[in-house]
Amino acid sequence: MDKVTIMDVANEVGVSKTTISRYLNGHFDRINAHTREKIKQAIDEMGYVPNQQARTLKAKHSHLIGLVVADMANLYSSFLIRGIQNVLREHDYSLLIVDSANSLTNEKKALTQLMASNVDGIILQPLSVNSQDYQFLVESNTNVVLVDRQTRPTVWSSVTADNFSASREMALALAKQKYQRIIFISLASDSSTTHALRYEGLQKVAQQKSILLDALEVTDNDLTDLDRLLKATPHTKTALFAVNGQLLIACLQWLQEHHYVIPNDIGITGYDDSELGAVLSPGISTIDQNPQEIGQATARLLFEYIGGKRGHEDAEVASKLTLRHSF
């Protein structure tokens, strides 16, 4: 069966092709109610599907937004996408999602493909902190908002969690419990501004309260070197600070395997966007960065730029600290 065309619909209704085109683009002012109903009925009965690409070429907007995330497997990404989708539905937009899988090569390919798809804007969770790596976005005049992370020097607006402030507040809670040492555990492959700000928040309190701050970078959640660090100062009251939820789980598993009792032998806290901390015993003190709210704020900001907004804006979404019984 041949594909139904716009001309077929026009002939069925007995109007011009231009009238059908006006209907499809929502220009109803010159089409009476009776004709509109006949067009709708013909489209439904004939199974006509508009050529979105052709319509995009004629229209100012494609009604498509591109999203590139660093790691789709991360629970953070799921909540982030939900928040973005909530706002896109309000604007009758669709979302094209690509996972860069923590690869700069994949990321650039994804961005290039999204631009070729004529998206109206891109939300990017950047892998590189260097804005020069994204110069091609500047040259394309694409509307871009960064999410979760920033690049340097500042080129695009961003929406992030309050990484520095939230980490500082958690460090103050540790200091109140007389912890003498904090081990900051992060991924060796991640040099993002997000992780740097979280470390700086801890560092600020460590300097003020004379707390020893160590950094442990791991690969594939391998915590082998943690044993060495803990044995180096066995009588120092120590807490682990995991930079994200996946590492927090890895730390909890490692402590259990090595027979550490929380909080008697060691304290632990970190970022967690799930409800894991609430269901474990003892309850884990965590920082929830509200990724769904971050997604919503990012999408709203991008629509402002699509609508003609100019200038730079960096927004922070407040994180939620929940103190339980892990230190």
Residues 175 and 283 in one domain: yes
Give domain status of residue 21, yes or no.
Answer: yes
Residue 169 maps to a domain:
yes
Same domain? For 303 and 186 the reply is no
Query: Does residue 55 fall inside a structural domain?
Result: no
Is residue 157 located within the same domain as residue 240? no
Question: Quick one: CA dihedral 259, 265, 188, 100, positive or negative?
Answer: positive
pLDDT at residue 1, rounded to an integer: 47
Q: Is 122 helix (H, G, I), strand (E, B) or coil?
A: strand
Region class of 290: left (phi > 0), else alpha (psi between -120 and 50), else beta? left
Which residue segment(s) compose the domain that 13 sits in?
A: 6-50
CA 142, CA 98: separation in Å to the nearest integer? 17
3-class DSSP state for residue 68?
A: strand
Task: State the pTM of this model.
Answer: 0.79
Residue whose pair of structure tokens reads 């629970």 in the numeric block = 75
Residue 181 lies in a domain: yes
41 inside domain = yes
Q: Nearest 5°: phi and psi at 235?
A: -105, 10
Q: Could you give the CA distance from residue 199 to residue 185 in angstroms, rounded to a whole number?
A: 9
Q: What is the pLDDT of residue 297?
A: 98
Instruction: Kindly give the confidence (pLDDT) of every residue in the chain, 327 residues in length, as a single tens digit, with 9 standing for 90 and above.
Output: 467 888 999 999 999 998 998 888 777 778 998 999 999 899 888 878 666 555 554 556 789 999 999 999 888 999 999 999 999 999 999 999 999 999 999 999 999 999 988 899 999 999 999 999 999 999 888 999 999 999 999 999 999 999 999 999 999 999 999 999 999 999 987 878 999 999 999 999 999 999 999 999 999 889 999 999 999 988 999 999 999 998 999 999 999 999 999 999 999 999 987 777 777 888 999 999 999 999 999 999 999 999 988 889 999 999 999 999 999
Q: Are 199 and 267 members of one domain? A: yes
Please tell me whether residue 152 adopts helix, strand or coil conformation: strand
Q: Are residues 69 and 115 in the same domain?
A: yes
Residue 327 lies in a domain: no
Q: What is the CATH number of the domain that holds 16?
A: 1.10.260.40
On whether residue 323 sits in a domain, the answer given is no
235 and 121 inside one domain: no
pLDDT the model gives residue 114: 94
What domain count does the chain have?
3
If asked whether residues 276 and 168 sit together in one domain, one would say: yes
Cβ atoms within 10 Å, residue 33:
8
Cβ count near 101 (within 10 Å): 15
Q: What is the CATH number of the domain that holds 121?
A: 3.40.50.2300
User: pLDDT value at position 61?
Assistant: 77
Residues 136, 37 share a domain: no
- Does a structural domain hold residue 141? yes
Helices and strands (DSSP H and E) totals, the chain: 13, 12
Contact 197, 149 (CB under 8 A): no
Give yes or no: residues 253 and 205 share one domain.
Answer: yes
Same-domain status, 154 and 167: no
Helix (H) or strand (E) holding 198: helix 193-209
Whether 91 and 153 share a structural domain: yes
CA distance 74 to 107: 16
Same domain, 176 and 283: yes
